[in-house]
Amino acid sequence: MYRLRVRTWRLVAALVVVNAALLIIGDALAPARPQPATGAGAPRARIGLVFDVGGKDDRSFNDVAWRGLVRARDQLGVAITTIEPSDGADREAALRQLAAQHLDLVIGVGFIFSADLERLAREFPDVAFAGIDYAPTGPDQPPPNLAGLRFREHEGSFIVGAIAGLSTRTRTVGFVGGMKIPLIRKFEAGYVAGVKHVCPDCKVFSAYAGTEPKAFADPALGQELALAQYEGGADIVFHASGKTGAGVIAAARAKGKRVIGVDSDQFHEAPCCVLTSMVKQVDVAVFDAVADVVAGRFRGGIRELGLADDGVGFVANADNAHLLSADVVTRARALAADVIAGRIEVPSQ
């Protein structure tokens, strides 16, 4: 039998005292909160952003988006709020949380937000929405207050494929993808086409880390897949696998082989070995979306950013000059010009 006695409530009393003390001490310790600015000092727009699986510090996709947002805050004078959802069910709730505050722009980073963004854009017509890597979920056009920002990853991948084809000594290269979805297939298709364009009889290995989102966050598996390709004769591997790519780069370092990074310039992950990176300017897309809202020229609809818009590209600078020969860079630039001019059709599947 459990009876309530004075003794039982002593614990409660003690906890109340502890809590009161923590509240008072904590409030005294916390740095003063910035007062909401008014008048001339008010932010020019309020922007919210929700991160994808992996979160802010993934050193890849989310990180690049975050950089674009920080730049917008510093240069355009906007106020920013971000949320890192902890689980699947929280993603929509996080977007909704920001939309319900009637911010000027709410950004979802990742294809996974597409359906949620469509629905919220219809529910909150006064809020502008932008989806990075947006993938339409039906035949309908997205609502007018939703900008779907897509990248022509196959174009950038085509160029780094050509670089791999021109740089390989074993006439064998590899590809490691994260989650096997149409988005990552675009990287693979472009890459293979690029290799074959400059080296028709080169061999291309291809492997994926899995079919669920955690395939983007499994460095151990990435390392295994890359090691297998290096041991099979590949001397260059291109990865499109988010955090999993850390393992691919580690494998390159261990074997002293070359690797091609993705999304951001990954040279500093392994200065010995990162031949180049297929950069995807998510930061530019985020910054531009904010700038459009600030300037009052935001418009919805799907936009594809390719080589022509500097939405995708490859890295050739002083850092990687010791790995990437000037001839190869010249050829790659010429090929990029051909793609932009439509003289080369790059497959996306």
Cβ–Cβ under 8 Å, residues 323 and 258: yes
Tell me the closest approach of the beta carbon of residue 263 to other proteins, in angstroms: 18
3-state secondary structure of 184: helix
Of 89 and 326, which has the nearer Cβ to other proteins? 89
Tell me the closest approach of the beta carbon of residue 344 to other proteins, in angstroms: 24
Tell me the closest approach of the beta carbon of residue 45 to other proteins, in angstroms: 17
Residue 253: count other Cβ atoms within 10 Å of its Cβ.
Answer: 16
Tell me the closest approach of the beta carbon of residue 116 to other proteins, in angstroms: 9
3-state secondary structure of 303: strand
Cα distance between residue 83 and residue 287, in whole Å: 18
Q: For residue 38, what are its two tokens? A: 């008014």
Of 76 and 135, which has the nearer Cβ to other proteins? 135
Q: Which residues bind other proteins (CB under 8 A)?
A: 1-4, 8-9, 11-12, 15-16, 18-19, 22-27, 29-31, 33, 55, 81-90, 92-94, 96-97, 99-100, 111-112, 114-115, 123-124, 135-138, 180-183, 211-213
Of 42 and 100, which has the nearer Cβ to other proteins? 100
Of 83 and 254, which has the nearer Cβ to other proteins? 83
Of 16 and 337, which has the nearer Cβ to other proteins? 16
Maximal C-alpha separation, the chain = 86
Burial label, 171 (beta-carbon count in 10 A; 0-12, 13-18, 19+): middle
Of the candidates 217, 324, 348, 326, the residue with the CA atom closest to the CA atom of residue 271: 324
Tell me the closest approach of the beta carbon of residue 349 to other proteins, in angstroms: 11
